[in-house]
Amino acid sequence: MPLRSLVPRERVEAVAARAGLGAIAAKVFDGARLDLADARTLYATPHLHALGAIANWRREQLHGDRAYFNVNQHINYTNICNKLCRFCAFQRLPGQQGAYVFSPAEAAARIRQYLGQPVTEVHMVAGIDPKLPYSYYLDLVRAVKEARPSIHVKAFTMVEIEQIVKVAKKPIEDVFADLKEAGLGSLPGGGAEIFAERVHRLLFPLKIGGARWLEIARAAHRSGLRTNCTMLYGHIETPEEKIDHLFRLRALQDETGGFQAFIALTFHPDNTDIEELPAPTSVDDLREIAVARLLLDNIPHVKAYWIQLGVATAQLALDYGADDLDGTVKEERIYHDAGAQTPQELGREDLVELIEGAGRRPVERDTLYRVVREEPVRVG
Ligand code: V47
């Protein structure tokens, strides 16, 4: 499919005005910050396509027709976890059937398995196994780097960092320095869930809450580590709680500038404690992506994580504010345990095709959004 031309402002203006979103669109065109009343309107409007058109305009201002992806692999190094989050299907108790911990050597073997492929990043996150000592985390990063020195290690959510600091018995700055020396390159954005205390109490009371998540992200940024950020939606949260979450991310980004990308994580209920809840629809997913693009005016990238959204919604999301499909991903377990029907990996060419199919220009990036390879433009 030939590249789409960028949508002209007058067209967005007209669509927004018809949907009663003209004032918000005008603010976006002017680069003005959206406030609480605007955020409420974006969550309430029935005019999804108008909302998407405004978000898409902003996305095209930032990234033109480019859509990013990377070639990565996932390692979920243990599923043992003592946090008992009610939305999680991945966790196992020690000794429970299916519980596992990879040794650093086993993790390295998984890296070597893909040496023949142009993998640039390993995304490494897991449960909280209180038995793992500080040395385990450092050895894990070292083993992975030794197996493939060029690989960027994006590892450990703020929740894991809280645990690592606990077993290290050292100040967080020293822990980040040790992890960096071992080879850590950046941090993923997981574990944020919904910052509101009500949801924390009901769904994940044993895990750090919003204030601590933000404090650890701030410390990571101050230590020179870039991170991503996330929001898990589609369970028991309210629009007000989502707005609070997004505004708190925006405020921290004003302070540190350390977030690279935001990922809206759609809830998969299967095999969880709250599996009676209906899964979010594609309409919900597209709304979250569009709202995030508009409220998080200071975070450069919004990812549509295909493995969670499904390839069809992820492709559409490239027109609703998202500019990144994440990576090829190998051996993902967290969502597949929770019923995700997507494949466990896509090839590089599959991602290129998906992006081209959406009329966008595929750009392979590294973890820090430096261009690895830009696909030649196909003349249609
Ligand atoms: O923190 C857990 C979520 C997150 C379920 O930074 C669930 O580049 C849906 O954060 N249904 C981990 N979601 C994944 C994550 C991530 C993914 C891709 C890219 C990046 C990045 C980060 O997954 C957890 C939690 O919020 N999660 N269980 C579930 N049943």
pLDDT tens, residue by residue, 339-370: 878 787 889 999 999 999 999 999 999 999 99
Residues 367 and 364: their CA atoms lie apart, in Å, by 10
**94: closest CA among 123, 136, 125, 132?**
132
Pocket lining: 325 vs ligand 1, CB cutoff 6 Å: no
Q: What is the mean pLDDT of residues 310-337?
A: 91
Q: Residue 84: its pLDDT value, please? A: 97
User: Cβ(268) to ligand 1 under 6 A?
Assistant: yes
Q: Is the CB of 85 under 6 A from ligand 1?
A: no
Band of residue 378 on the pLDDT scale cut at 50, 70, 90: low
The mean pLDDT value for 288-307 works out to 97
Residue 137, token pair as written in the block: 């985390």
Residue to probe by mutation, ligand 1, list 334, 341, 342, 366, most atoms within 8 Å of CB = 334
What mean pLDDT do residues 34-62 have? 98
Looking at the predicted structure, is the pLDDT value of residue 141 above 80?
yes
Q: What is the mean pLDDT of residues 165-188?
A: 98
> How many angstroms is it from 265 CA to the middle of ligand 1?
6
pTM higher than 0.75 for the full model? yes
Residue 31 Cα to ligand 1 middle (Å): 30
DSSP 302: E
CA torsion angle 199 200 205 211 (round to 10): -170
CA atoms within 13 A on the CB side of 200: 16
Q: pLDDT (tens digit, 9 = 90+) per residue, 248-297?
A: 999 999 999 999 999 999 999 999 999 999 999 999 999 999 999 999 99
The per-residue pLDDT for range 66-91, each reduced to its tens digit, is: 999 999 999 999 999 999 999 999 99
Q: In this predicted structure, what is the pLDDT of residue 341? A: 80
List residues bridging with 72 in a β-sheet. 121
Tell me how long the chain is: 380
Listed in sequence order, the residues at least 6 apart from 270 whose beta carbon sits closer than 8 Å to its beta carbon are 89, 338, 339
Residue 377: band (very low, low, confident or very high) from pLDDT cuts 50, 70, 90:
low
What pLDDT sits at residue 272?
97
Task: Determine the atom of ligand 1 nearest the C-alpha atom of 190.
Answer: 10
State yes or no: pLDDT of 379 exceeds 60.
Answer: no
pLDDT score at 206: 98
- Output the average pLDDT for the chain: 95
pLDDT tier at 51 (50, 70, 90 boundaries)? very high
Q: Would you say the CB of residue 326 lies under 6 angstroms from ligand 1?
A: yes
Question: Are 91 and 83 within 8 A, CB to CB?
Answer: yes
For ligand 1, the distance from its centroid to the CA atom of residue 86, given in whole angstroms, is 14
